[in-house]
Structure 1
Amino acid sequence: MATGRIHKPRHNRYCLADAEATMLAVARTGGTASHLSAAQEFGWKLKHDPVKPCITLPRSARKPAGSYELHWGDLSDRERRRNVTSRTRTVIDCARTYEFDVALSVADSALREGIVDRDDLLIAAARSPRTGRNKALRVAQSASHRRANPFETCLYVIATTVAGLRVVPQGVVPGVGYVDLLDRWLGIVIEAESFEHHWTKAGLQRDVDRYTRAARLGLVVLRFTWAEVMFAPDEVAEAIADVVRWRTVQAVGRHGLAA
């Protein structure tokens, strides 16, 4: 403390001077990192980082001074000792608190880590407080380790809002391979495209070959960028809906001729 390497933010609380914002907030408030801040501590991928440190305080605690996203609830001895809520609880807390795409990104990332599974989430959601329980159940039921990142998760959420579309993540198309989202009935492939896998000459050629093979199978391929999915979801949904409408007309026409 004399050399400034350790701070004492409150009575009986000490932290390193270079502690990150979340742990510093935990030390100052006497609470536990939770919600999006807990997800960050676990290294999960999020749709967006928390604007403020997310802290859960014991029910009897007073509101501390400072700029935090505060929650109150029962904390286990283990959570208080480790200064972070459990993995399963973190997913359920996020599901009960945030919008569906934000919460599902957390849940998908938790499943990809492999420490908790979908059954854990379903049981915890069913046992969660009545307020927000339906939201928690929806997230638990929809969670999947097969979506690779929040980009794909958010694209999936947009796709679920389009009437008549039934997509599965990481669907397999013979001769093409895995695709991000696939509606087998309508023959629609939806891809979340990023520069990470497509900026090289080899990557470009691989994509051209994949999508040519898809077209030869009669599939329609829709490709969306990260910026479109994150900042223009309504436009993405509208584009998908237009294709769904035309593919539905074509499917009905084919069956009508066959009859």
Structure 2
Amino acid sequence: MDPAVALRELGGVGTLRELLAYTNRSQLSAALAAGRIHKPRHNRYCLADLDGSMRAVARTGGTASHLSAALEFGWKLKHDPVRPCITLPRSARKPEGAYELHWADLSERELRRDVTSRTRTVIDCARAYDFDVALCVADSALREGILDADDLVIAAARSPRTGRAKALRVARAASPLRANPFETCLHVIAMSVPGLDVVPQGEVPGVGRVDLLDRALGMVIEAESLEHHWTKAGLQRDVDRYTKAARLGLVVLRFSWMDVMFRPDDVRAAIEDVVRWRTMQAVGRHGLVA
């Protein structure tokens, strides 16, 4: 797979080990030489030009924030920022140039380090962006292990009134269990389906962990990337795994990265159809028992 495509599926940022699950070293070197991907530091590859974001910080006198700050921390995102995200002190004038600009009171440490704090970055994204974009940031922050869920909920509750409800929603929904933005975005779609109540990384006896599980309806929803499924061994593992799930009476829905990121309405409609049928089947079984 092309390294840029692989990085996009990984959330815009990846290690060498993560990338080699999708591509090879020669393709990686060629993509680096062509400037299609970047290596800002040891064992760190990304799509966005982080040096460009920091040059924007220097030009504007502001601080990298929002999605630019998230990239600086190495967090995985639904998509890279279209423009460098910069927060300026409230008294600063609007600079010339193509930036995503915000104004706020900045701490001395944030001004000195040229990047907003981790907690602030999560809350800023939650207040500024759509739920799925912001939840990808929050999930990635929790997976890093420096922040915990309580930190985010407390910070969201203390955030400015404008956007506080959005921040609280993201903070309460955030989880380190979802492995990447692909799984996060699939879960967000599932959250919008009435009658469905899935948990991430649910354990199924004899099958193992699945991406999303609704025990009551007997539904498994999987985010299928090429990372674990492009070899003969991976194919056989899939066949065994999903045959075991079927023998337990589970319905398995599998969606690709392209489905989730570019056809979310189709994914939602497919899930809704299965929820409707499983609900009808559950009602029928209940009626027979009665």
TM-score normalised per structure 1 = 0.93
Give per-residue Cα distances to partners, 1:154-181, cap 9 Å, x unaligned: 0000000100000000000000000000
1:196 counterpart SS class: coil
Identity of aligned residues (%): 81
Which amino acid in 1 is paired with 2:223? A
User: Which of the numbers 83, 87, 98 marks the counterpart of 2:118?
Assistant: 87
User: Which of the numbers 208, 227, 231 marks the counterpart of 2:239?
Assistant: 208
Distance in 1 between residues matched to 2:176 and 2:289, nearest whole Å = 39
**2:110 is aligned with 1:70:** no
User: Which of the numbers 60, 79, 93 marks the counterpart of 1:48?
Assistant: 79
- Which residue is 1:243 aligned to? 274
**2:248 is aligned with 1:233:** no
Which amino acid in 2 is paired with 1:145? P
Distance in 1 between residues matched to 2:66 and 2:50, nearest whole Å = 19
- Which residue is 1:167 aligned to? 198
- Which residue is 1:258 aligned to? 289
User: Which of the numbers 198, 201, 208 marks the counterpart of 1:177?
Assistant: 208
**2:169 is aligned with 1:129:** no
- Which residue is 1:114 aligned to? 145
Which amino acid in 2 is paired with 1:93? D
- Which residue is 1:21 aligned to? 52
Alpha-carbon offset, residue 249 of structure 1: 0.2
Give per-residue Cα distances to partners, 1:29-48, cap 9 Å, x unaligned: 00000000000000000000
Distance in 2 between residues matched to 1:148 and 1:220, nearest whole Å = 22
Unaligned runs of 5+ in 2: 1-48
Alpha-carbon offset, residue 19 of structure 1: 7.6
2:169 counterpart SS class: helix
1:20 counterpart SS class: helix
Residue correspondences, number: 242
2:279 counterpart SS class: helix
1:223 counterpart SS class: strand
* Pair 194,246 (structure 1): closer, same or farther in 2 beyond 3 Å: same
CA contact (8 A) 2:50 2:72 kept: no
Which amino acid in 1 is paired with 2:289? A
TM-score normalised per structure 2 = 0.83
Which amino acid in 2 is paired with 1:34? S
CA contact (8 A) 2:185 2:260 kept: yes
Alpha-carbon offset, residue 102 of structure 1: 0.2
Distance in 2 between residues matched to 1:192 and 1:204, nearest whole Å = 15
CA contact (8 A) 2:50 2:71 kept: no
Which amino acid in 2 is paired with 1:193? E
Give per-residue Cα distances to partners, 1:92-137, cap 9 Å, x unaligned: 0000000000000000000000000000000000000000000000
Distance in 1 between residues matched to 2:52 and 2:100, nearest whole Å = 13
Unaligned runs of 5+ in 1: 1-17
